[in-house]
Amino acid sequence: MEGLLSEIIAHLGLGTNLGDREDNLAQAVKGLNSGTALTVLRSSRIYETEPWGVTDQPAFLNIVVEVSTNLSPQELLHHVKGLEGKLGREPGPRFGPRLIDVDILLYGDMVVDEPDLHIPHASLHLRAFTLVPLAELAPDSVHPILGQTITNLAMQVEGLGGVKPLA
């Protein structure tokens, strides 16, 4: 029930490797910021990143945005998946190319373990392409399961060489 929860700070990871990647990110941030469900507070720099999982595909652009929302975790998931659809994302192979991808990385310090939703994101600690921009916005936030700061996790993750700020 929207409006019943107090505002919470969440962090969302956005990625794209098809079409006009910079415009895809801009449209996603604009779409997130429309309406009353959430407000984008700030965004990391844009990073160009090597593909993860399936490596035979174009490079990605990734950012992390910090949002304030009163949506529940499930409502937020529904909201971001709806936005992906509005922006033209079509179903495809897991870890494959995508027009836009929006993942819930952190939702305050909450832990959610449901069949369709895992917060913190189940692979957050394994992905340099999310940890690096997340550390830019929330360096001292603590991973609620691992008990380590985002900065600490970002310094230890494999693949840092494949994450470069966009020139």
Instruction: Tell me which of 98, 116, 127, 140 is the catalytic residue.
Output: 98
Instruction: Tell me which of 56, 89, 94, 116 is the catalytic residue.
Output: 89
101 among known catalytic residues = yes
45 among known catalytic residues = no
Which among 104, 94, 25 is positioned nearest to 60, based on CA atoms? 25
How does 116-125 read in b/e, with b if 16+ C-beta sit within 10 Å?
ebbbbbeebb
Instruction: Determine the Cα–Cα distance for residues 42 and 68; give it in Å rounded to an integer.
Output: 10
Asked whether 101 and 113 are in contact (CB, 8 A), the reply is: no
| DSSP H/E element including 152 | helix 150-156
Instruction: Tell me which of 103, 116, 127, 140 is the catalytic residue.
Output: 103
56 among known catalytic residues = no
Instruction: Tell me which of 45, 101, 113, 116 is the catalytic residue.
Output: 101
21 among known catalytic residues = no
R_g over Cα of the chain: 15
DSSP-derived secondary structure for 38-89: EEEEEEPPPEEE--SSS-SSPPEEEEEEEEEE-S-HHHHHHHHHHHHHHTT-
Q: Which residues are catalytic?
A: 89, 98, 101, 103
